[in-house]
Structure 1
């Protein structure tokens, strides 16, 4: 059995990385810290490249690819720290008009979370509210205009992701054909893919800094303690990669829960260790390390946190 990426999958990954590097480099990332509104021009450019219509059938104007390809794309999104409700756009491109073409931005709210959070509330055109509990349970899915949703202020740990707490959402307009359990599973998997991309990026950042930063006349990467940190980061990232890629193939709820758990651990742990490799510089606002850590913290609480995943996996092993 061949577990290597195909040439087409590598081309998709590399093309996405090149597009994001050219349109959302470090200068744009730092500008987004002060103004995290999604770049509508970039949104439409992503749509033209097939980002949102990636899994729509070719007969409906889509690219006709599958969940493994979507995971590769979202891994690159995680590397770049691109802000915006991109997971929602990918999942709802076929259900909400204008999303596949990048003309409308849609947000997806997890009604089972506590609190129920809505990202980028001032920049979304449509809100989709998903009821239900665990990923394998059915639940209703509703569509609302942002003005119809009651909200309260909520301080976000991530400066790139403004949030509000949803205090009331009208449940009068069901979203036709929506499958709540599928939305939950795939939202968790694509979020895990973003975490994987961030974990890989912080490995590269730490190794690059360890090679160029010198202390006592030698690169700090030659010191055993730093080597151990970087090696541990790589192990975390590769374990998460194997789990996320496998879950993308199986689509199984338990596989996805395990992948999300490992990807969350890799993203948070690697960002912390990357900060340690940077030393005092890592604690400064000017360094980008803290942005990866804050985004990882936020994603780790979305679409199933560690405690929920651990309980579900333990029940499956015991049952």
Structure 2
């Protein structure tokens, strides 16, 4: 099996890396955080690069590329800790492409691909505790259409989005709906998040909605798995940059007249950071490669990947701060932002303890038994 990236994938990586290095410097990011944590102009730049169209089928104006291409992009965006949640475009493309009626696909996917409409997943409820099968939102039939009443939390750029993918119970069964931000009864309350990005509380009060699918749980599981694979890839990019920044600091900082990179204890800790990065990278590859598998296999694989990525993110983030000493916790220095980004990613779509429970629940009776 060939594990090398194709020439097209390498070119894609290079193009995104050049954009991050040139257009998304640390100073640019700090300014974006102060401006609210999201920029339509930056989203338009991502669209101009073709990234919002990456996984949208060609029949609907997209590039029709796959999970590995999305992984490559998210790694590079992670290097710059880009605030704009491009993963939401990947989620929307996957869910609408596999579950939505053709008319809904034709209406929304070209707009998502062009970057004209931002559709985000709004699934988190206060009592759910990361459980996807727990849903209190309600949907009713309203003439020829549907109406949704729901309260969702921590919706990515919720007060800036154009529409939402909202799970809700329809006749006692979880379905998935698309609710436009401009619909009657929709309100949002935006706020900044720990890593400098933006989220919102979403309230729908009998809001008109478009039915995506009555198999809402399966669609939601796919959405969260695509999001989790994106989290893994983004985390790899953040960890890689944190390690490089730490190595540069150790080579520049001197004590007793020599660079502290020469101290054996610090060299060992740097080596452990590199090991955790590579463990995380391999499991990120695993997660992306498993997205096309049947649901049970895919869910089990994503949970495994998230357990390892959670361990890697926590270790690399903590060591990076500690090896920098006091400067590592200052807002003016980039490593503190790496740490905050990794901390938030570790809890996105379920923290490590949740995913460890998922791995345990999905273990087969023959786990660990040699046949």
Aligned partner of 2:22 in structure 1 is 22
Task: Give the one of 245, 269, 276 matched to 1:236.
Answer: 276
Residue in 1 that maps onto 2:86: 86
Alignment of 1:98 onto 2:102: no
The separation in 2 between residues aligned to 1:19 and 1:265, in whole angstroms, is 30
Counterparts of 1:124 and 1:300 in 2: how far apart (Å)? 24
Q: What's the CA shift for 1:265? A: 2.4
Q: CA deviation at 1:18?
A: 0.9
Aligned-residue offset at 1:210:
1.0
Moved more, 22-31 or 142-151: 142-151
Distance 2:154 2:39 in 1: 21
| Distance in 2, Cα, partners of 1:85 & 1:25 | 17
Tell me, what secondary structure is at the counterpart of 1:157?
A: coil
CA contact under 8 A between 1:81 and 1:198: conserved in structure 2? Answer: yes
Question: Given the alignment, which residue of 171, 179, 198 partners 1:144?
Answer: 179
| 2:321–2:329 Cα contact (<8 Å) kept | yes
* Alpha-carbon shift at residue 80 of structure 1 (Å): 0.9
Question: Which has the larger Rg?
Answer: 2
1:295 partnered with 2:341: yes
Tell me the residue number matched to 1:279.
325
Report which stretch shifted further, 103-112 or 246-255.
Answer: 103-112
Kindly indicate which of the two structures has a greater share of residues assigned to strand: 2
Deviation at 1:171, TM superposition (A): 6.8
Q: Give the 3-state SS of the residue equivalent to 1:121 in structure 2.
A: coil
Aligned-residue offset at 1:303? 1.3
Q: Distance in 1 between matches of 2:250 and 2:222?
A: 42
Taking the aligned partners of 2:353 and 2:52, their CA distance within structure 1 comes to 31
Match in the other structure for 2:137? none
1:152-231 equivalences under 5 Å are 156-158=193-195, 160-166=196-202, 172-176=208-212, 179-231=219-271
Query: Shift of residue 144 of structure 1?
Result: 2.1
Structure 2 unmatched runs, 5+ = 97-104, 130-151, 292-297, 366-371
Report the Cα offset of residue 24 of structure 1. 0.8
Distance 1:57 1:166, change over 3 A: closer
2:158 counterpart residue number? 121
1:89, distance to aligned residue in structure 2 (A): 1.8
Q: Are the counterparts in 2 of residues 206 and 277 from structure 1 also a CA contact under 8 Å?
A: yes
In structure 1, stretches of 5+ residues that fail to align are: 133-137
How far off its partner does 1:166 sit?
4.1
Deviates most, 72-81 or 4-13:
4-13
Check the 8 A contact 2:280/2:312 in 1, yes or no. yes
- Contact 2:193 / 2:199 at 8 angstroms: preserved in 1? yes
Are the counterparts in 2 of residues 76 and 197 from structure 1 also a CA contact under 8 Å?
yes
Q: What TM-score results when the alignment is normalised by the length of structure 1?
A: 0.88
Distance (whole Å) between structure 2 residues aligned to residue 230 and residue 294 of structure 1: 19
Measured in 2, the distance between the counterparts of 1:101 and 1:86 equals 13
Partner of residue 269 from structure 1, selected from 293, 311, 315:
315
Deviation at 1:157, TM superposition (A): 2.3
* CA–CA distance in structure 2, aligned partners of residues 31 and 155 of structure 1: 14
> 1:168 deviation in Å?
5.1
How far has the Cα of 1:73 moved from its partner? 0.6
Summarize deviations over 1:4-61 as a string: whole Å, max 9, x none.
Answer: 2222222211211111221111220111221134222221221122201112233332
